[in-house]
Structure 1
Amino acid sequence: MNEADEEGKLLKFHDMGLDDRLQKAIAKLGWSKPTLIQERAIPLSLEGKDILARARTGSGKTAAFAIPVIQKILDSKQHAKEQSVKALVITPSKELCSQAYKNVIDLTSSCSREVKCVDISGQVALDAQRPLLMEKPDIVIGTPSRILAHIQAKNLYLKESLDMVVIDEADLVFSFGYEADIKTLLSHLPKIYQAFLMSATLSEDVRTLKKLVLHNPVILKLEESQLPETNQLTQYHIKCEEEDKFVLVYTLLKLRLIRGKSIIFVNSVDRCYRLKLFLEQFGIPSCALNSELPVNSRCHIVNQFNEGLYDIIIASDETALETPTETKDEKTKQKKVRKKDKEYGVSRGIDFQNVSNVINFDFPANVDAYIHRVGRTARADNQGTALSFISVKEMPLLEHCEEELADSHPEGETLFKPFQFRMEEIEGFRYRAKDAMRAVTKVAVREARLKEIKSEILNSQKLKSYFEDNPRDLQLLRHDKSLHTVKTQQHLKNVPDYLVPPTLRHMKSGGRRARTNKQFHKGPTRGEMKYKKRKADPLKSFEYAGLLKKKKKK
């Protein structure tokens, strides 16, 4: 086992000996230079070495394995006598499978006839995917249980042809309950193959996987902080009570004091729909992302968000995994709970693009969850902001998080900057927020959950064949529509000038008074995209506005 040398010449993509077709696809994606993990991993992979790579979320790990896999397949095509499965990509969730598949398709855009790839993670019958596997695609992507099911159904045979195995987000594979599946799956693979393990952390589970899968690997343990640099990611916190959280999020969004695309994290599905129904009453569209929705709908929501069709996703960052030590009574209780997808994990790995802000409406229960939530923004070279609402009960979580992440920011600086403004400035919004909250009852939340699940299932099943024939119509399917389980009051959708504090009135207009809320939520304009690229902090404007009078007095 050897450690990769951190020093040496900085490589560019054209220095790596990549196929012209692959370089053309990389240029088309706008990647001017490799990230640190790509620069280290790709040359070693092309030499045939096994790789164990640890790099933080958003560092480009997917391309770090996808590029050498495609390159090696293109090389093998020159002397191959027959078509066969050459690479197996294993990820712990359906969303990550979909994401890896999209990345491979993008990277093979100039050689799609030579390199075929299929994603078999979808919730369809095994027989429906059998024809795809009978064509022996070069790359097969799936979850461990799905791949094993196809092998046992004799739809997939890998003993002779397989050259490469990739396990992405390796630290999640065992925690998602795949340990037995992985061990069985490995018995169906050839004895010799090149392996890649990509992970955000080097946990005990990853070390166990390393022993099972890797042979004398190169370990790429990149010396970088768990979070992006402070000049790329700005982290704020606001100390507020439970009721204040709703007032704050309403004010920030309605007055457009938070600009760009935002992900709002909560800790449960109920909170997800409670917040969605609350915002709905003020005419603020948002879509909910949770484990109860069909996987096709979840992937479609993420794709449309990435394409700019809407600006706000409310994500329930929760897991619904059974532990091996559960008692019968606990299992009986769980039967009463609505069915959730065990392969769901929204804060991990999913590639949300151009996210300007992550808002922790509920602070996460542990440091890892915070890192992965915040990792949805400030990806690659983009700027990002993380804003956490902290109640008295959540203060110990914040303090623990700051202690654990002390090494990730310069000495003498606080990790979480106080988001300073006077709550009394937005007192005028409080009574409106209370009116809206009274309407969001438990019954309304339950009905909203059921209504959206039924709607998404109908869209997913009944319209599947229609959308296959009419792909353009699929783009018109929106997930941020009002659920109408709460009676809305039209006057709440408008903000009269007398409610807006003097220090924020210029922010409300900002030279953009002509733009309506409806226009704002159609997605970022060219001007807004340039705004994001200027490395501006979307929240600074509000911070400074709130402190304007205080600074003048000083």
Structure 2
Amino acid sequence: MSEFTTLGLAPSLIEALTRNGLTQPTPIQTRAIPLALAGRDVLGLAQTGTGKTLAFGLPLIDRLLAEPGKPAPKTVKALILAPTRELVNQIAENLKTLTNGSPVKVATVVGGQSINRQIGLLQKGNDILVATPGRLIDLMDRRAVDLSTVKHLVLDEADQMLDMGFIHALRRIAPKLGTPRQTMLFSATMPKQMEELSRAYLVNPERVQVTPPGKAADKVTQTVHYMDGKTAKGDKLREILSADMKALTLVFSRTKHGAEKLMKGLVADGYNAASIHGNKSQGQRDRAIKAFREGTINVLVATDVAARGIDIPGVSYVINFDLPEVPDAYVHRIGRTARAGREGEAMSFCTPEDVDLLVQIEKLMKIEIPTASGERPNAANRPSVRNQRGRSAGKSGGGRRGNGGNGSAQKQSKPQSAAPGANNGQAKRRRPRRRTAA
């Protein structure tokens, strides 16, 4: 007997869960679903891979099944916003497995795909719309969608939306939604800005936290390899990959250019690899993920565009070829393994100039990551991150590389022009490199 029956879900949903082999709710689902079914606003915090999508998706579908009538043309009953195309597609795929054969219609709109096709899709009206904020605003500007009927709003991975500057898009979208409405916000981390976001858009929310923010899944084994530079990183990566040639391995690079160069080098050396990053078309990214999921390729090199939204239980290893410059991104990266109760291993490569980034990650995680090889440099013997990168790794903001965004937050927070001078010229030369993130 399914334990989901104790949560108050409709019998048709219980049957759909059983068909998909789901009978045991996760802790976040057990706590969040009854609150959402009661119509409460929910602030959900749980580590990656613990079932947050169904924690909001199941009560959302349940309530829509109980609401009579088809949506009118261009209208939407429930809106789910997510920061990346991959995450939007992943959410929609999970929801569609539960709505097959029901009257609930799920649609997606993301950038990189035909906007005219999406306009036609929205013309029919939809029960649930899963969208990236940028493309949704494009469609709003074309009057292709009417959001005044939205009575359920979900913000998934809201902390990354803040990092990527989507707060400005949210401020444009929210006033167009129906009221009163139910709002649910879910994430694996809880930066201070997200608390402010919850106060602005949630009404008397119930906070559901099943693990401390910033904590990795319990079954992820974490280690760090210390080395001198890029050449040593490449050698160590090939050594690890060669030890288990059939394992699904996700390798993270800080930049788009770095990811592509690394992938091509691996392919040239005979490894079965592909890459996804912001310079790839949506079709290329979808095909690479599909091939990785099916095992056609077993090494996927990615920027932080893949740190969220890839739900592939079979990923055995996550390798941080480059450490992220935003500590929260580390949590989401290593959460791509040890999913659905399985075990996984996360390995990080650290050069002397990266040690300060590692310190920030360990501070967030509240652990010291065990050493697998090499020796950790002493503070007095390593170059500072400021000297190496021209900025401190301890600062926060959307202008960093490696945050999974497209630099939009930086453009909004920096003036468009500055007084001429040597330093300003240096900043102009740096800007294209910052835009190479994800």
Assess same fold via TM > 0.5: yes
Report SS of the residue matched to 1:86: strand
How far the C-alpha of 1:21 sits from its partner, in A, is: 2.4
Partner of 1:308: 295
Output the amino acid matched with 1:303.
K
Q: 1:187 to 1:399 in 2, by over 3 A?
A: closer
Q: 1:400 to 1:132 in 2, by over 3 A?
A: closer
Partner of 2:237: 249
Partner of 1:97: 88
Report SS of the residue matched to 1:182: helix
How far the C-alpha of 1:65 sits from its partner, in A, is: 0.8
Partners of 2:302 and 2:138 in 1: CA distance: 30
Partner of 1:182: 170
Q: Does 1:278 align with 2:278?
A: no
Partner of 1:54: 45
Partner of 1:130: 119
Does the aligned pair in 1 maintain the 2:71–2:126 contact within 8 Å?
no
Q: Which has the larger radius of gyration?
A: 1
Does the aligned pair in 1 maintain the 2:316–2:337 contact within 8 Å?
yes
Partner of 1:261: 248
Output the amino acid matched with 2:147.
L
Output the amino acid matched with 1:46.
L
Report SS of the residue matched to 2:207: strand
Partner of 1:402: 362
How far the C-alpha of 1:124 sits from its partner, in A, is: 4.0
Q: Does 1:237 align with 2:197?
A: no
Q: Identity over aligned residues, as a percent?
A: 31
Output the amino acid matched with 2:318.
V
Report SS of the residue matched to 1:292: coil
Partner of 2:314: 354
Q: Does 1:172 align with 2:160?
A: yes
- Normalised by the length of structure 1, the TM-score is 0.63
How far the C-alpha of 1:122 sits from its partner, in A, is: 4.1
Output the amino acid matched with 1:29.
N
Partners of 2:350 and 2:147 in 1: CA distance: 51
Partners of 1:417 and 1:163 in 2: CA distance: 50
How far the C-alpha of 1:141 sits from its partner, in A, is: 1.4
Does the aligned pair in 2 maintain the 1:12–1:39 contact within 8 Å?
no
Partner of 1:484: none
Q: 1:373 to 1:183 in 2, by over 3 A?
A: same
Structure 1: give runs of 5+ residues left out of the alignment: 1-10, 318-344, 408-413, 422-554
Does the aligned pair in 1 maintain the 2:225–2:373 contact within 8 Å?
yes
- 1:364-403: CA deviation from partner (whole Å, max 9, x where unpaired): 2242122121111112201000112222332333344334
Q: 1:241 to 1:377 in 2, by over 3 A?
A: same
Output the amino acid matched with 2:223.
Y
Q: Does 1:158 align with 2:147?
A: yes
Output the amino acid matched with 1:375.
G
Report SS of the residue matched to 2:67: helix
Number of positions where the alignment pairs a residue of Structure 1 with one of Structure 2: 371
- Normalised by the length of structure 2, the TM-score is 0.78
Partner of 1:45: 36
Partner of 2:106: 117
Report SS of the residue matched to 2:126: coil
Q: Does 1:372 align with 2:332?
A: yes
- 1:162-220: CA deviation from partner (whole Å, max 9, x where unpaired): 22111111112233222332222222112211111112222233223223321111111
Does the aligned pair in 2 maintain the 1:226–1:371 contact within 8 Å?
yes
Partner of 2:370: 416
Partner of 2:210: 222
- 1:254-278: CA deviation from partner (whole Å, max 9, x where unpaired): 3x34652101112222322332232
- 1:316-358: CA deviation from partner (whole Å, max 9, x where unpaired): 33xxxxxxxxxxxxxxxxxxxxxxxxxxx22134324311001
How far the C-alpha of 1:88 sits from its partner, in A, is: 0.9
Does the aligned pair in 1 maintain the 2:32–2:208 contact within 8 Å?
yes
Match of 2:195 among 203, 207, 210: 207
Report SS of the residue matched to 2:263: helix
Structure 1 residue runs of 4+, over 4 Å off? Answer: 81-84
Output the amino acid matched with 1:174.
L
Q: 1:220 to 1:42 in 2, by over 3 A?
A: same
Q: Does 1:390 align with 2:350?
A: yes
Does the aligned pair in 1 maintain the 2:111–2:132 contact within 8 Å?
no
Output the amino acid matched with 2:81.
I
Does the aligned pair in 2 maintain the 1:360–1:388 contact within 8 Å?
yes
Output the amino acid matched with 1:261.
L
Does the aligned pair in 2 maintain the 1:98–1:299 contact within 8 Å?
no
Partners of 1:272 and 1:131 in 2: CA distance: 35
Q: By percentage of residues, which structure has more strand?
A: 2
Partners of 1:393 and 1:219 in 2: CA distance: 39
Report SS of the residue matched to 1:187: helix
Output the amino acid matched with 1:143.
T
Partner of 1:17: 8
Output the amino acid matched with 1:121.
V
- 1:18-76: CA deviation from partner (whole Å, max 9, x where unpaired): 22322222123322311111111111100110111111222211111111111111111
Does the aligned pair in 1 maintain the 2:253–2:259 contact within 8 Å?
yes
How far the C-alpha of 1:292 sits from its partner, in A, is: 0.2
Output the amino acid matched with 1:357.
Y
Partners of 2:347 and 2:245 in 1: CA distance: 10
Partners of 2:326 and 2:196 in 1: CA distance: 23
How far the C-alpha of 1:139 sits from its partner, in A, is: 0.8
Partner of 2:66: 75
Partners of 1:404 and 1:171 in 2: CA distance: 15
Q: 1:392 to 1:102 in 2, by over 3 A?
A: same
Structure 1 segment 492-503 matched on structure 2, within 5 A: none
Partners of 1:291 and 1:141 in 2: CA distance: 20
How far the C-alpha of 1:302 sits from its partner, in A, is: 1.5
Report SS of the residue matched to 2:336: coil
How far the C-alpha of 1:245 sits from its partner, in A, is: 2.1
- 1:459-496: CA deviation from partner (whole Å, max 9, x where unpaired): xxxxxxxxxxxxxxxxxxxxxxxxxxxxxxxxxxxxxx
- 1:105-137: CA deviation from partner (whole Å, max 9, x where unpaired): 1121242xx111111214345433222212111
Output the amino acid matched with 1:66.
G
Does the aligned pair in 1 maintain the 2:320–2:349 contact within 8 Å?
yes
Output the amino acid matched with 1:50.
D
